[in-house]
Chains A and B, each alone.
Chain A
Amino acid sequence: MMELELRRLRNDRTEVYTRAVQPVLWLAVFGLVFSEIHAIPTNGIPYIDYITPGVMLQSVLFVAVLYGLTLVWERDTGILKKLLVAPASRYAIVIGRSMSSGVRAIIQVLIVIPVALLLGVSFIPNPAYFVVALAILFVISGGFAALSIIVASLLKTRERFMGIGQALILPLFFASNALYPIALMPHALQVVAVFNPLTYAVDAVRGLMITGNLALLPLDVAVIALFDILMFAAASLSFRKIIE
């Protein structure tokens, strides 16, 4: 399934570039402006460095949450029916599909990185950290894609899906530590952020790529793994419904 995504992207790269526009704008406009005004306390690191992991996660989140759209399209064609009739377990299909959104997500991240470097973001020059960070991005993408599959299974049509898709992305993104520390938020939003898996992914990637603070890394990984397992299980159960 991941190979499928790579082969599709090889034949049409435009999508990769159009999707890269938004994160690049976040970094180049939002990041640079807020770096100048020093409005947000970031423990001494430049603001643009601070939000780079957040913007990467946002890219991942977009790709993953909208991955359900692919499934809705495949539902309209006969592909999903054929997959469900294939002699492969449904868990394998769901996990394969979820993870293949990770392939797309990682490609987006790899585009954001050189842009960030150009804008003067300083990464920790440790290849091992870098690889672990990418792995975390890949895995969390799978979880969000599975969430997207659940939504697609329940809603079934493109129009309904678009409405919910956007409504999922924005709160997940803003109610997390992607753009500002949780401590700055109002209490209610802090509660949401604590239950938001994106928070943990941002923390892990920020630690690995920018700050080098890995104190919470085991917790982050555990939360992300738990989130993925729950989402995969729920998506496998709901997947059948999509064709009915």
Chain B
Amino acid sequence: MTFAIDAKGLEKVYKGNVAALAGVDLEVKAGDIFALLGPNGAGKTTLMRILTTQFKPTSGEAHIFGLDVVREGGEVRKVIGYVPQETSVWSDINGYENLLIYAKIYGLPSRSRKEVIYDMLESMGLRAAAEQLVKTYSGGMIRKLEIACAMLIRPKILFLDEPTLGLDPAARIAVWKKLASLKMEFGTTVFFSTHYMEEANAYSDEVAIINMGKMVTSGTAEELKHSLRGELIKVSVSDHHVDEHTLGLIRGLKQVNSVVVTDATLIVTVEDAETALPGVMDVLRSAEIPVVRIATTKPTLDDVFLRYAGTTRAPGAASTTERVEEEAGGDHRE
């Protein structure tokens, strides 16, 4: 099977020996929406610019649908669309004209040009604004116009560098709806970088986290959250002392990693709260301990991000991450 992106050992060293990428391996399946996460300066943009043939890696290789980004750059550019982080449309002409200029640069046949442009405007919801100068567009409209530009050649893969940076929540949702519809309509693979964890969580099929120029982990958002092995079950018991024997029984359960008692609350760390809960409840019930309240806490992708890429954390910040960090130990998926 040919991967949409297949990179091995990518390295990029900038002038002055600044290593932006230090050996990146990456596989992206065709048709996936793939999120690249990482702190500022982790190498997200560098990776994207190598994959879009803007410059060559110092070493290593990468293929886009089997085409080598260094040796077959011209061919690669025919199958990719790219939306850079910065604004990439001319603001002193209107939306239709922007698409027209790009259509001409891309060499779209003149017969179908107009139709393709109006189709694209339609599917991006910009039909009504087509004749307005781009100066008057909102941030979300500009993004949609840029995506429309990139989609003119119906690329097999669309690269987006922080597509929703600086957009309000409504505009972000609108942009994502459009991107998801592109996947549905054209089967376009989407590769995007972002700082917004919830976007990666909600819209991506797979997530990879890059830090200090290296891929630190990848998988589906669910897999990554599971990999922390840090879901919590909190059981409040009514002024009842939970004896050591019962605690021992709970600790002995297969899924349980640790148990802590504070006041009248049991905090049980497990891999998966939903499947572990019945076992814990059985033990408590047979010990005849009345349960007042049960809560489960699942790690979010934020926790995953901080776990793998977090370098600074405010001391005393109360979050699941703290405990997860202590208890999950070094045992995590690569």
Contact = CB atoms under 8 A, between A and B. Distances in A.
Q: Do A and B truly interact?
A: yes
Interface of A: 1, 3-4, 7-8, 11-12, 76-79, 81-89, 93, 96, 240, 243-244
B92 A11 contact: yes
Contact of B93 (A1, A11, A81): A11
A6 to B, nearest CB: 10
Interface string B92-106: 110001001110111
Contact of B88 (A8, A81, A244): A81
B77 to A, nearest CB: 4
7 contacts: A77-B88, A81-B54, A81-B82, A81-B84, A84-B54, A85-B52, A87-B106
Given A3-B101, A85-B52, A77 B86 contact: yes
Contacts of B90: 4, 8, 79
B15 to A, nearest CB: 9
B156 to A, nearest CB: 12
A82 B87 contact: no
Contact of A82 (B55, B82, B92, B133): B82
Closest 3 CB pairs of A and B: A78-B84, A78-B88, A78-B86
B76 to A, nearest CB: 9
Interface centre among A84, A96, A244 (most CB of B within 10 A): A84
Contact of A86 (B85, B100, B105): B105
Contact of B77 (A1, A87, A96): A87
Nearest to B89: A79
A76 B86 CA distance: 8
Contacts of B149: 82
B167 to A, nearest CB: 15
B41 interface: no
B252 interface: no
Contact of B107 (A79, A81, A84, A87): A87
Given A82-B88, A84-B53, A85-B82, 7 more contacts: A7-B97, A85-B77, A86-B77, A88-B106, A89-B74, A96-B105, A244-B55
Nearest to A75: B86
A16 to B, nearest CB: 13
A25 B245 CA distance: 100
Contacts of A76: 86
Contacts of B83: 78, 82
B177 interface: no
Contacts of A11: 92-93, 133
B68 to A, nearest CB: 16
A77 B87 contact: yes
A76 B106 CA distance: 22
A8 B107 contact: no
A240 B161 CA distance: 20
A3 B82 CA distance: 23
B323 interface: no
Interface in B121-151: 133, 146, 149-150
B106 A243 contact: no
A244 B12 CA distance: 12
A88 B107 contact: yes
B87 A78 contact: yes
B37 to A, nearest CB: 21
B281 interface: no
A14 to B, nearest CB: 11
Contacts of B74: 87, 89
A84 B74 CA distance: 10
B332 interface: no
Contacts of A85: 52-54, 77, 80, 82
Contacts of A1: 101, 105
A3 B104 contact: yes
Nearest to B84: A78
Contacts of B82: 81-82, 85
Contacts of A89: 74
A103 to B, nearest CB: 13
A96 B102 CA distance: 13
A8 B90 CA distance: 9
Nearest to B55: A244
Contacts of B107: 87-88
Interface string B141-169: 00000100110010000000000000000
B104 to A, nearest CB: 7
Contacts of B240: none
Most chain A beta carbons < 10 A, residue from B92, B100, B101 = B92
Nearest to A243: B54
A4 B106 contact: no
A8 B153 contact: no
Nearest to B93: A7
Given A85-B77, A87-B153, A8 B92 contact: yes
B285 interface: no
A8 B106 CA distance: 19
B78 interface: yes
Contacts of A96: 105
B88 A4 contact: no
